[in-house]
Amino acid sequence: MADPAVASGGSLNAGGRGSGSKAASSPAENYHLARRRTLQVVVSALLTECGFESAEKAVVETLTEMMQSYITEIGRCAKAYCEHTARSIPTLSDTVVTLIEMGFNVDTLPVYAKRSQRMVITAPPVTNPPVTPKALSAGQKRTHPPHIPGHFPEFPDPHTYIKTPTFREPVSDYQVVREKAATQRRDVERALTRFMAKTGETQSLFKDDITAFPLIAARPSAIPYLSALLPSELELQTLEETDSSEQDDQTDSENTAGNIITDDPGADKENSMLPPSGVVPSTKASEDNVIDNPYLRPVKKPKVRRKK
């Protein structure tokens, strides 16, 4: 059984029909078509043998398909058996076991083969099996080192096991980087907002074309001050980032201005004294007994009911 036939089984459906109409140009396709045609002839012969005088095309086709599947399965199975026993080419016994495995009575085979009314079919036209295109080889294949015998398989292409330097020189030009960052951010924002506008309710500035400049509809919220006052997660994130890696002073020369607004250094000072959410609660906890604030005192239990 020819392996390529097995391999090409999947593509048969595609190429099998309408071979006439389609100009089958590639040699691989011609090869498969020839095989297929032979199978059809076989099926037809068998039908004739069985006494049919004519058959619908669809029937022939179906039977061809079945036969092909059967043969393919035998081939696949036989190959599996042979590989199971660490060989590379199936032997007769592999095939026999396969047939038995598939529920075929092997003993009847010789009788059947020698039956009298057997029709002789011409061999399929000789066509060259398609040449599998060689994998594109990249780089020089390594030769075997001396301790490995020559019959062992060759090394694969170097790119499969060697780190290949494919990156380009990173763009370090400041202008380009900024340009890229800006464009990227803008694209992301635009895509995101467009998506939101597409999927949700929108408002429009134009009456004639409501899809131009779609605005995400304004939706009132029950507690509007929360979203307006609390910093968004993104901002918090950036704040953390800048906190951890102190902002590099790109404007060092400009910061020496003498006339700094007096209130704001104060703010910074206090920020450093009171880092966000750090100090206050802990002092509160530790000095709870020290702080005497009426709002922190426990709520008293009601006294025994008394008359007013």
Partner 1 sequence: MNRKKDKGFESPRPFKLTHQVVCINNINFQRKSVIGYVELTIFPTVVNLNRIKLNSKQCRIYRVRVNELEAPFIYNDPTLEVCHHESKQRNLNYFSSAYTAAVSAVDPDAGHGELVIKVPSELWKQGDDLKVLKVYIEFSLDQPKGGLHFVVPDVEGSMAERGAHVFSFGYQNSTRFWFPCVDSYSELCTWKLEFTVDASMVAVSCGDLVETIYTHDMRKKTFHYVLPIPTAAPNISLAVGPFEILVDPYMHEVTHFCLPQLLPLLKHSMSYLHEIFEFYEEILTCRYPYSCFKTVFVDEAYVQVSSYASMSIFSTNLLHSAMIIDQTPQTRRCLAQALAQQFFDCSKSQADEWVLKGISGYIYGLYLKKTFGVNEYRHWIKEELDKIVDYELKMGGVLLHPTFSGGKEKDNPTPHLHFSIKHPHTLSWEYYKMFQCKAHLVMRLIENRISMEFMLQVFNKLLSLASTASSQKYQSHMWSQMLLSTHAFLKSISNVSGKDIGPLIKQWVDQSSVVKFFGSFAFNRKRNVLELEIRQDYTSSGTQKYVGPIKVTVQELDGSFNHTLQIEENSLKHDIPCHSKSRRNKKKKIPLMNGEEVDMDLSAMDADSPLLWIRIDPDMSILRKVEFEQADFMWQYQLRYERDVVAQEEAISALEKFPTPASRLALTDILEQEQCFYKVRMQACFCLSRIANAMVSTWQGPPAMKSLFTRMFCCKSCPNIVKTNNFINFQSYFLQKTMPVAMALLRDVQNLCPKDVLNFILDLIKYNDNRKNKFSDNYYRADLIEALTNSLTPAISINNEVRTVDNLNADVRLILEEITRFLNMEKLLPSFRNTITVSCLRAIRQLQKNGHIPSDPSLFKSYAQYGHFVDVRIAALEALVDYTRVERSAVELQWLLIMVQNDPTHYVRHKILGMLCKNPPFTKTTDSTLCNEALVDQLWKLMNSGTSHDWRLRCDAVNLYYTLFGLTRPSCLPLPELGLVLNLKEKKAVLNPTIKPELAVENLCLSLTSDFSDEDIDMETVHDSQAFIHHHLNLLERPSTPGKHTHTHTHTHRQKETEPPSVEQSMLSMPATPVPSFSKEATSSASKHGSEHSHHHHHHHHEHKKKKKKHKHKHKHKHKHESKDKEKERERDNSHAYSNSPASGRSLRSPSLSD
Let me know if 85 is exposed, middle or buried by CB neighbors in 10 A (0-12, 13-18, 19+): exposed
Interface with partner 1 (CB under 8 A), residue from 3, 83, 154, 189: 189
Taking the least distance from each CB to partner 1, the nearer of 83 and 288 is 288
DSSP code string of 216-233: EPP---SSHHHHHHSPPH
Question: Minimal distance in Å, beta carbon 234 to partner 1?
Answer: 6
Nearer to partner 1, 89 or 229 (CB): 229
What string of DSSP letters covers 161-217? TS----PPPP---HHHHHHHHHHHHHHHHHHHHHHHHHHS-EE-S-SS-TTSS-EEP
Question: Can you say how many angstroms the Cα of residue 306 is from the centroid of all Cα atoms in its chain?
Answer: 76
Tell me how far, at minimum, the Cβ of 194 lies from partner 1, in Å. 8
The residue from 125, 139, 156, 231 that contacts partner 1 (CB under 8 A) is: 231
Size of the site for partner 1 (CB under 8 A): 87
Query: What is the C-alpha to C-alpha distance for residues 218 and 69, in angstroms, rounded to an integer?
Result: 63
b/e code 229-257 from CB counts within 10 Å (16+ = b): eeeeeeeeeeeeeeeeeeeeeeeeeeeee
Task: Pick out residues in 266-295 that bind partner 1 (CB under 8 A).
Answer: 266-267, 270-271, 273-274, 276-277, 279-280, 283-284, 290-295
The amino acid that residue 154 corresponds to is E
x-or-dash string of contact with partner 1, 193-222, rule CB under 8 A: x--xx-----x-xxxxx--xxxxxxx-xxx
In the complex, minimum distance from the CB of residue 36 to partner 1, in angstroms, rounded to a whole number: 59
Task: In angstroms, give the least distance from the CB of 233 to partner 1.
Answer: 9
In sequence order, which residues have a C-beta less than 8 Å from that of residue 187 and are 6 or more positions away?
A: none
CB nearer to partner 1: pick between 137 and 282: 282
Write down the least CB distance from residue 154 to partner 1, Å: 51
- What mask, x for binding partner 1 by CB under 8 A, covers residues 159 to 188? ---------------xx--xx-xx---x--
Complex with partner 1: residue 87 or 190, whichever CB lies closer: 190
Contacts to partner 1 from residues 233-272, by CB under 8 A:
234-235, 238-239, 241-243, 247-251, 254-255, 257-264, 266-267, 270-271
Q: Is the separation of the CB atoms in 184 and 167 below 8 Å?
A: no
Question: Rounded distance, CA 60 to CA 176, Å?
Answer: 66
